[in-house]
Amino acid sequence: MSNFDDIDKIFTTKCSTKTVQSNDNGFFMNFYLTVINSFKDDQEFKVWLRDCFQKCESESEKLQLLYNDPTISWEILGTLEHVTEIYRKKDSIFSWQKRDQVGKLIKMHDEGNCQIPLDKILILASQAVMRAPMKDVDKTIDNGLTFAFALAQRSEVFLRMHDGQNGLNDLQLAVKYGLDIKKNAEYYSKLAKFYALLNEDKKCEISIKLYHQLIGHDDLRRDILMNEIQLLKSQTKSKSPTKLQPPSLKSHTSESTEIERCTSTLLRLNETTDAGKFFVSNGSIETGETLLVESAKCACLYPKNCGTHCYHCFTRLLAPIGCSSCSSVAFCSINCRDIACNSYHKFECHFFDLLIGSGMSILCHIALKMITMHGTPEKALEAGEKLTKTFCTNSTMRDGEDFFKRCLMASFLLRCLQQSQFFGRRTTESAEPTPIELKIGALIFNYLQSLQFNAHEIYETVTVGHAFLKSKINYIGVGIYEVGAMFNHECYPSVMRWFNGTTLIFNSIRPHVDGEVVAENYGPIFTKQTKVERQRNLASRYWFKCKCRACEENWPVLDKLNNKCRLKCVTEGCDGIFNYQNGGKNSKCAKCKKNVSLQMSLSVLNEAEEKFKKGAEAMDIENIEAAINAFITGIEMFHKVAVPPHKDLHIAQESLRACIAASGNVFNAGILK
């Protein structure tokens, strides 16, 4: 598969397989085995791959062979023709049962007899909302208003949690979906409380007046409500906003290219035969600079996160809204739901559990979504023409079996599109593709090759009370970034990546001189993995041999590092390097042949280490801005006089990453909502 002599072929095959089939228990593996069992033995299959399948030059020809070759077509068509809708449907009875359970718990809570915390009750209330049909499909239960009743009840939970915004949203949405309570005094009582929690005093006052009117100007009941509102406000702690906007680079004209829209003017794109396209610094770059802000071309949540994050924007869910048809995914708002359900999700909705049950990888799901997000086959092909020229597939390095597995997956995904009427109402039930369907299938096949090397895992930082102590990275999905994919890898990266929703952001974590490569890290980083481990992982997962400085000099992992770094020659224009100097005595440079004193350099190095300590102290007290400034200053000072590796420097760079990422996807699991 690769031209490396020392590649671990077994591990490489395993890594590549996982980018197609992440779950061996899924039925796609059985599909694959059924097809290859059509052959007498493994040797006959390999001969067919060599003499028939691999002789096909294009993706279209390979895919068409699956439908036409009598050796395998019967098994393939027989399976594909049984592809049908499998999804989690709405359930009025289930929703009603959850609502009944929540109602009893709310009553117990108000009486002081409930041991279950409100955030757990909220989960039950959200289950009632998620499973409730949004349309009048069954008027025998709740007169067809199950969804509206579920929203109204969840607003009661939010009221007790002192969450004015989500409570107000649910209450107003309940009215929108048919709950006729606008002439009900209790409706305005709740409105007044929610507005009070939001400090919207004018609206609160108007709601109290309407409440007063509807109760026949009963001053006593009005005064009771006003006292409840005062108590509510006194018990409510102000909350700081949890979502920050990603940084902006500059304004753009409509003629700006994709690269110009996403990258800083401090970057320029280079291209060589060996390294392909990559970015270098366009002038000097200081530490902490924002170099890339790019929205995802396409992004998918991991299935395990479909109940915790918005399926469209990846926001953490607190008041989830479901799809209008299935109960498999959740959204943070009606807006996100409508965007998804009016585009890509309407084609996958009724096949969602089938897709997950296939055991396919998230990259397969993205390949499918990169088609459906465009709405029509013609638009998908137009967008795909550009991306297939941008993303590498490493097709010359793939073996026949790997190609075949991806081609078979493409046939399954294409069948799902046929059944979902992505191509309109078909005139035949056969799985054999029409010409335009074949083009879409070939494009999916291409994506299944290229996405293996051009995807980024999207993460959030999970904290427990403190912003940094015991925090950990949680990978929630995968995104495709056309410009971000052009950054090459180094085991000692010069940029860090973080995410705001699905937006990818790169910041420099060390200074750059003009023309220096600006590199990110694909996962194997020198501080955590040895050179042997990194080379094995990179060769097996990304099919290249890394020749970065950390690999060429075989830097030790962080635990084996010390602070005895090398110092730069102080002679102007000289790039000579001295081994660690303890006293700063005069030394002769091997490059410029001059005797130089390194005492000043050691003084600057010590000052840089003091900045690292101050940054760590600022992190301890969660003064993020002070920590960022201290780390940036220390990193800049270090690079003026010394060269890595240096233990405290790399700890400072990781700390800087954590501080900057605190402006992005963060979930504080230690705060009870």
pLDDT digits (tens, 9 = 90+) for 391-424: 988 888 899 999 999 999 999 999 999 999 999 9
Q: What is the DSSP letter of 310?
A: -
Supply the pTM of this predicted model: 0.93
Residue type (1 letter), 25: N
pLDDT score recorded for residue 15:
86
DSSP for residue 663: T
- Please state the rounded mean pLDDT for residues 218-229: 96
pLDDT at 18: 87
Question: pLDDT digits over 602-639, tens only?
Answer: 999 999 999 999 999 999 999 999 999 999 999 999 99
Q: Tell me the residue ranges of DSSP E strands in 214-368.
A: 267-272, 276-281, 290-294, 298-301, 321-322, 330-331
State the average pLDDT over residues 151-167. 96
Q: Quote the pLDDT of residue 580.
A: 76
> What mean pLDDT value characterizes the chain?
92
Burial of 107 (0-12, 13-18, 19+ CB in 10 A): exposed
Q: Which pLDDT score, from 0 to 100, does residue 423 have?
A: 97
Mean pLDDT on 104-113: 94
Burial degree of 43 (CB within 10 A; 0-12, 13-18, 19+): exposed
pLDDT digits (tens, 9 = 90+) for 496-538: 999 999 999 999 999 999 999 999 999 999 999 999 999 999 9
List residues bridging with 472 in a β-sheet: 462
User: Which of 436, 336, 433, 419 lies closest to 376 in space, CA to CA?
Assistant: 436
Higher pLDDT, 1 or 77: 77
pLDDT digits (tens, 9 = 90+) for 445-478: 999 999 999 999 999 999 998 999 999 999 999 9
State the pLDDT at residue 360: 97
pLDDT of residue 276: 85
Q: Does position 545 have pLDDT exceeding 60, yes or no?
A: yes
Cα gap 454→482, rounded to integer Å: 8
pLDDT confidence of 90, banded at 50, 70, 90?
A: very high
Confidence of residue 141 (pLDDT cuts 50, 70, 90): confident
Q: What confidence tens digit (pLDDT) does each residue in 569-592 have? A: 999 999 999 987 656 678 899 999
Query: pLDDT tens for residues 653-670?
Result: 999 999 999 999 999 887
pLDDT at 4 over 60: no
Decide if pLDDT at 296 tops 70: yes
> Tens digits of per-residue pLDDT, 24-39?
789 999 999 999 999 9
Region of 281 (left: φ > 0; alpha: ψ -120 to 50; beta: rest) is: beta
Residue pair 280/484 in contact (Cβ under 8 Å)? The answer is: no
Q: What is the pLDDT of residues 232-277, one digit of tens each?
A: 988 876 544 444 456 777 656 666 788 888 999 999 999 998 888 8
pLDDT at 673: 42
Q: What's the average model confidence in pLDDT over 172-200? A: 93
pLDDT at 185 > cutoff 80? yes
Residue identified by tokens 């779950």 is 23
Cβ contact 330:320 at 8 Å: yes
Pairwise CA distance, residues 600 & 612, whole Å: 19
Q: What is the pLDDT of residue 245?
A: 53
- Contact between 118 and 161 (Cβ < 8 Å): yes
Q: Note the pLDDT of residue 672.
A: 46
Q: Is the pLDDT of residue 1 over 60?
A: no
Does position 139 have pLDDT exceeding 80, yes or no? no
Residue 17: the pLDDT is 86
- The three-class DSSP label of residue 97 is helix
- Distance CA(46)–CA(591), nearest Å, equals 58
Q: How far apart are CA 260 and CA 250, in angstroms?
A: 9
Model confidence at 175, pLDDT cuts 50, 70, 90, reads: very high
Domains of the chain, each with CATH number or no CATH: 26-82+304-454 (no CATH), 92-235 (1.25.40.10), 262-295+481-529 (2.170.270.10), 558-668 (no CATH)
Greater confidence (7 vs 442) lies with 442
Both tokens assigned to 324: 């209008």
Give the span between the Cα atoms of 496 and 501, in whole angstroms: 16
CA separation for the pair 455, 380 (Å, rounded) = 19
Q: Are strands 566-568 and 503-508 parallel, antiparallel or unpaired?
A: unpaired
Q: Worst-scoring range by mean pLDDT, 8-12, 151-155, 595-599?
A: 8-12
Give the pLDDT band (50/70/90) at residue 305: very high
Share of the chain above pLDDT 70, in %: 95
Beta carbons of 287 and 310 less than 8 angstroms apart: no
According to DSSP, the residues that pair with 643 across neighbouring strands are 566
Q: What confidence category does residue 177 fall into, taking pLDDT thresholds of 50, 70 and 90?
A: very high
Region for residue 23 given its phi and psi (left: phi exceeds 0; alpha: psi -120 to 50; beta: otherwise): beta
pLDDT > 90: percent of the chain: 82
CA 170, 172, 175, 180 torsion: positive or negative? positive
- Taking residue 516's Cβ as centre, other Cβ atoms within 10 Å add up to 14
